[in-house]
Amino acid sequence: MFSTELVVQTFISGVMIGVLYALMALGITFIYSIMRMINWAMGEFYMIGSYLQYMLVAFLLGPDLWWLAIPISAAGVFAFGLVVQWGLIKPIFKKPPEARDDYATVVTLALLLLLRSLATGLAGPNQFTPGSNLPIVMVGPMPMAGARVAAFVFALVALALFYGVLRYSWYGLALRATSQSRVGVQTAGIDVLGIDRVAFGIGVALAGLAGALLAPVFLVFPTNGLITTVKGFEIVVIGGLGSIPGALIAGILLGLIESFGAAFIDSAYQNIYGFALVLLILAFKPTGLFGERGREA
C-alpha cells in the first residue's frame, strides 16, 4: 500500500491540482490587495469561465481547438469583470469608508446568487462537459489524464505571465504601488479607479481561467465554482491575505495535503483536509505563512 510509486503519483497530482487552486486564490488575494475588498462571487466567475469554455468547444471551435478557447474564455470573463466593476463596485468609493466593507460583501453575495440563479434558469441544472480528446500522458512513470496535464501547463504559463506583467511592466509597477498606498499613487498622477477596474478584471479572469481549464475535469454546472472557491479562500488564509507568493505556495501545499489525505486516510473527506489545515494555521501562525504585518486588527 505504501509504495514509492503511489507516493510519487500522489505528490504529482497534488502539485498539479494545487497550482490550479492557486490561480483562484491569486485572483482573490490580488483583488483584495488593490481594492481592499473581498469578491465573494469569485466562484461564479469561475463558473462563467467554464460555461464559456464549454460553449466555445461544443458549438464554435470544436474539441481540437480547445487551447484556443481557453484564452478567449478568460478574456470574456475579464470583459465581464470590467462591466461588473464599473456598474457595481465603483460606487463603493462614493460611500463613506466604513460602509465599504458592508456594501462590497452584500453586493458581491447578491451577485453570487444572481449569477448562479441565472445559470440554472438559462441552462438548467444539467452537467455539461466540453469534449476533450487529449490522450493519456505519461508523467515520468505515471499515466495522467491529458486534460489535467494541459490545465497544469496552462496555469503555469498564466502564472508566469501574471508575474512578468506585475514585476516588469510599468502597469505592474502601478498595480504594486496601489496595493501599497491608494492615496500615494494618486499623488503620482495614477488613476486609482482605472487601476481598480483592471485589477478586478484580472482577478476575476484568473478565476475564469481556472474554470475554463478545469471544465473537462470538474464538469460544468451552476455551482461548479463552489469547491474551488472554498479552496481559494482556504489558501488565502493559509498563505496570508494579500501575499502573492503565499497564494502559490499555500495552493501547492493544500493540493498536496488533499491528495495525500485522499490517498492515505480517506478519499471521502478530501475536501475537509484543507479546512483542518486552516484551523491549524490560525491557531499557531494567525498571520498565515506569508501574511502582511497589518493583519492583526
In angstroms, give the least distance from the CB of 59 to another protein.
23
Q: Is 7 in the site for another protein (CB under 8 A)?
A: no
Helix axes 225-239, 192-218, angle to 10 degrees: 120
- Site stretch for another protein (CB under 8 A), options 17-25, 97-105, 195-203, 251-259: 97-105
Q: Is 234 in the site for another protein (CB under 8 A)?
A: yes
In angstroms, give the least distance from the CB of 275 to another protein.
4
Q: How far is CA 4 from CA 7, 10, 47, 118, 264, in A?
A: 5, 10, 37, 47, 13
Answer left, alpha or beta for residue 36, where phi above 0 means left and psi between -120 and 50 means alpha: left
Closest CA to 200 of 51, 32, 48: 32
Give the nearer residue to another protein in terms of CB position, either 60 or 110.
110
- Site stretch for another protein (CB under 8 A), options 70-78, 180-188, 209-217, 233-241: 233-241
In angstroms, give the least distance from the CB of 101 to another protein.
6
Tell me whether residue 36 is exposed, middle or buried, using C-beta atoms within 10 angstroms of its C-beta: 0 to 12, 13 to 18, 19 or more: middle
C-alpha to C-alpha distance for 291 and 286, rounded to whole angstroms: 8
- Site stretch for another protein (CB under 8 A), options 4-12, 59-67, 180-188, 227-235: 227-235
Of 24-83, binders to another protein (CB under 8 A) are: 32, 38, 40
Give the nearer residue to another protein in terms of CB position, either 260 or 275.
275
Task: Work out the number of other CB atoms within 10 angstroms of the CB of residue 175.
Answer: 21
Give the nearer residue to another protein in terms of CB position, either 201 or 240.
240
Locate 1 and state its grid cell.
500500500
Q: Which residues pair with 186 in a beta bridge?
A: none
Q: Can you give the binding site for another protein, defined by CB under 8 A? A: 32, 38, 40, 88, 91, 98-99, 101-103, 105-107, 109-114, 116-118, 120-121, 226-227, 230, 233-234, 236-237, 241, 268-269, 271-272, 274-275, 278-279, 282-283, 286, 295-297
